[in-house]
Every structure is written in C-alpha cells, then in structure tokens.
Amino acid sequence: MEDKRKPNAKQIDPYKELSTIAGNRVTFKSSTPYIPQYVTSNLTASSDPSDIYANRVQGRQLLLENPVRDPRKRKEEEEKRQKIYELKKRKKMGVIGKREAKEKGVWRLDKTQAKYKLFIPLHRLWMSYMSELLGLALPLVEGSAPPSAKSIPPSQTMYPKLVKADFHGAVITVCRSKNPCLVGLTGIVLHETENAFKIITKSNAVKLVPKQNSVFTLAIPLHSTLPSSHKPNAPLPLPGTDETLETVLDIPHVEFELYGNQFRFRSADRAGRKFKHKETVEL
C-alpha cells in the first residue's frame, strides 16, 4: 500500500507524555491555563493554533465524560421525589395515609354498629351528591306525570362523571360473578379499596366483595333528591331523622353496570385517571 503522507509534514505522537510543553513543566494556574498551551503546542503547522483555539475551544463547555443515564432509573428517582413531596403535603394538611389509617383502625367497624339502618342517612346523602354531580332534574309537582327516562341527562355525559365519582354510600348489587355465592348480594358501600367493596346488607351482615371477576349493578335516582330551594354552590343538606328510611331502590331509578376487572382503582386514583372506551367480553 502506497504511503501518501508528505515527507515534510509534522507528525504527532498520540502516545507521548503530556508532562512537558515546549520543555517546561505543566503548571495549572489561572494566568497560564493548560488547554491553550496544549492546543497551541500540539496542532500541525499547516493551521493557525491560536485561531482554532479562539473559534472552537475558548468560551465553550467541554464534556470530558458523558455517561449514559438509564431513563428508567431517572424516572424512578422522579417518582420517588414526587411521592415524598405528596407525603409531606398530606402530612401538612393533616391527612393520614393508608398504612396509618389501618394501624389506627379507622376502617374497622364495631360489631355493635354494624346495622343497616344506621347507614341509610349516608346513602341518602350520597343520592343528594349524585343529584348535584349529574345535574338531575327536580321531581315534578304532585298530580303530574311520573318522571321518565327522558328527564335524566344523556348517558354520554354521565359516564365520565360516574367512573370518577365516590361510591361510599351507594347501593350496589352483584349481578354476575364467577363465585356463585356472591350473585344477588345487595348492600350499601361502606368502604371501597383498590380491589374490593365492603358493603353492609339488610341482614346487618358486613361483606367484603372482590371486584375481580364480578359485575356490579349501580342504581342512580331518576330525579333529583335535593330540595327545590337548594343552590348549586351550597353544601348538601343533611338527611333528617324524621325522613322515611328508603333507598334508591324504593324510588324510580336507572341502573348501570360496573365491570370489576376494569374498575380496580381506588376512588382517589380514579379522580385523576383518564379512562378509554373499550369493549368488554368478560363473564
């Protein structure tokens, strides 16, 4: 192979020691920086070293090492920082976490208080909450025709609100399940977790119903249960003790189906989650 190098070209030895430059020992001082000396003394004679240094090196940030960071590790660090920030914020607001609530027995129900009638006011408060959330029409005056399905909002506007609503106090029924012992079980929701509903039945029995492999029926009142004098921004009225103990199943209502396999989220997580429409072929 022919050597095309010029005989008079100055050669650079990449393996020579860098301890000396032009016979002088290298010194690292602000007045005599190392990089300008090195560039000036090691470039070929065919170019202007000072010009190259001024245009390509001076005033620029030189990365001596660029380690490749794992994006998954960076994402985990960001999630950890976000979690710590949320915990501090919740602690400052006085909100306890799930582990602390479990240790203090917040969700532990006393057997002497496990009575269905005690939770009817909670259910009636939930019906008022749904009436305001869905914008249900007020009931008609006496002597007029009973409310019909046309008086409720369209289902397209109700679905996005229902999947993000709070179900504590709702009446649900297990209509289909791979466990036949759960089919037909009806009760008021006392506590909703990520994977189960804790309900109380009319027989004063507390049941823990798993969401997985179950389909639930949710009943919504056909018309608003709020008084006609209620304002949109006003607090929901508390149910009185002299009211008739009735549930949504005792008044005109509409029913929706909840697929437990697609509903395995906590109520707080559903509020900020985006749900996408997809076909369901389960059960």
Percentage with pLDDT > 90 across the chain: 15
Do residue 140 and residue 233 come from a single domain? Answer: yes
Q: How many domains does the chain have?
A: 3
Most confident among 5-19, 147-161, 189-203 (mean pLDDT): 189-203
The CATH number assigned to the domain holding 124 equals: 2.30.30.210
Please list the helix, strand and coil fractions of the chain in percent, rounded to the nearest 5, in that order.
35, 15, 50
Residues 125, 262, single domain; the answer is yes
Q: Is the pLDDT of residue 236 over 90?
A: no
Both tokens of residue 55?
Answer: 């245009």
Task: Tell me: do 25 and 96 sit in the same domain.
Answer: no
Looking at per-residue pLDDT, the higher value among 30 and 196 belongs to 196
Q: Answer with the residue of higher pLDDT: 232 or 76.
A: 76
Query: For residue 246, which of 159, 171, 181, 190 has the smallest C-alpha distance?
Result: 171
Residue 40 lies in a domain: yes
Query: Per-residue pLDDT for 68 more than 70?
Result: no
Structural domain span for residue 168: 112-271
82 and 155, same domain (yes or no): no
Q: Name the percent of the chain lying above pLDDT 70.
A: 65
> Do both 177 and 234 map to the same domain?
yes
Counting every residue written for the chain, the total comes to: 283
In a domain, 262, yes or no: yes
Instruction: Note the helical H segments in 71-138.
Output: 71-93, 98-104, 120-134
213 class by beta-carbon count within 10 Å (0-12 exposed, 13-18 middle, 19+ buried):
middle
| Local confidence band at 211 (pLDDT 50, 70, 90 cut-offs) | very high
Query: pTM (2 decimals)?
Result: 0.60
121 and 48 within one domain: no
pLDDT of 151 strictly over 80: no
For residues 77 and 141, state if they share a domain.
no
Whether 248 and 124 share a structural domain: yes
pLDDT for the residue 230: 66
Same domain, 96 and 187: no
More confident residue, 121 or 229: 121
Query: Is the pLDDT reported for residue 179 higher than 80?
Result: yes
Q: Are 91 and 166 members of one domain?
A: no
Helix/strand/coil for 240: coil
The highest-confidence range among 6-20, 102-116, 210-224, by mean pLDDT, is: 210-224
Looking at the fold, whether 41 and 128 belong to one and the same domain comes out as: no
- Is residue 283 included in any domain, yes or no? no
Q: Is residue 245 a part of any domain in this protein?
A: yes
In a domain? residue 124? yes
